[in-house]
Structure 1
Amino acid sequence: MRGVVTAIGSTCILAMLLGTLSITGAASARPASQPAGHSLCMAGETRIFSCPLGAKQVSVCGAGKQAVYRYGRPGKIELVSRSMTLAEQGYSGGGETQIQVTNNGYSYILFDRTVRTGFGPDGRHDPAFSSGLLVRRGGRILSSKRCGNDASIPSLARQFMPTGNEIVVH
């Protein structure tokens, strides 16, 4: 369940295109002892974002003063990257947060978005939440997947990665 929606809101997208990405850092340790599908973070890391995508999942974890992106399954990590930035954009009634990961000409964009879908007669804002992963190459979206949970990017992500300037429109 989501916590309180901030003025900025949050949205996260990480994208993964299977079979075309190389691993930029090997993950030799198994993920921390957690239920399957929960996270690809290792013991002692801070979970920033975790999103099930069918049989696979994507996680962003705080390791020391840096974030690490992992895609795959527990025990079988397919992509690891530490090259990422955080971008935030406020909207009227919500906002979006993105973690943008780069690897070999591909961009993997995790997003967490809150938008107002209308006003009810009782004054309710009726927010809609979405999160997922976009994969891009050369500005073209190759894949877009929604998280199988209510994933969100918390404000603590700012402690582990530099701020980027651009929200990717999708």
Structure 2
Amino acid sequence: MRESRQQWVRSLALAACLLGAQAQAGESLCQAGEPIVFSCHIGNKTVSLCRPSSAQHELLYRFGTPKKIELAHPGPGARTASPPFETATTPLVGGGVTTVTFRRGQYQYSVYSKTSSNNGTPEFEDGVIVSRNGAPLKTMVCDDGGEGFRERLDWVPKARK
């Protein structure tokens, strides 16, 4: 009887650990050991900015599902002539917008976090804007509102004006 109870407790503990790992994986597309800088859900997809544990001042962008990453930047072995990411901050009445942007060919991807005020009530919106040759093509707003950027990004180069 005592052995079966211990076995049951071990099984329960293992299940709790597996569920915790699954919840972390569902929260973002960051891999184990990569701090989550930004993550939110857009439909059945996830967009994440991760910081590699081996590189304090680098970012990785991933979009897709845990089973299929549709876009990763920088890609494996990629070399870029300019900084892989740039930031910009735009003040708004009662808040502002912070963006982290990267370019792939003619396309520009801007992960944003916006805080504004509507009659004194704070409003928050996070998402991704995809542009081509500077013209916005698609704005994808986070379903879950988003949490904004979870870390300071003052080390990321500022966008060229």
| Structure 2 length-normalised TM | 0.72
Would you say the 8 A contact 2:112–2:128 is kept in 1?
Answer: yes
> Any stretches of 5+ residues in structure 1 without a counterpart?
1-32, 119-124
Kept after mapping to 1: 8 A contact 2:99/2:111: yes
Query: In structure 1, the residue corresponding to 2:31 is in which secondary structure?
Result: coil
Given the superposition, is the C-alpha separation of residues 50 and 85 from structure 1 closer, same or farther in structure 2, using an over 3 Å criterion?
same
Larger radius of gyration: 2
Partner of 2:44: 55
2-side partners of 1:149 and 1:165: how far apart?
31
* Structural RMSD (CA): 1.9
CA distance in 1, matches of 2:123, 2:91: 15
Q: What CA distance in whole angstroms lies between the structure 1 residues aligned with 2:48 and 2:130?
A: 15
Partner of 2:107: 106
Partner of 1:156: 152
1:138 aligns with 2:133: yes
CA distance, structure 2, for counterparts of residue 73 and residue 158 of structure 1? 29
Runs of 5+ unmatched residues, structure 2:
1-20, 75-83
Secondary structure, aligned partner of 2:152: helix
CA distance 1:129–1:103, shift in 2 (3 Å): same
Supply the distance in 1 between the matched residues of 2:157 and 2:122 (Cα, whole angstroms): 28
- The change in CA–CA distance for 1:90 and 1:115 in structure 2 (over 3 A counts) is same
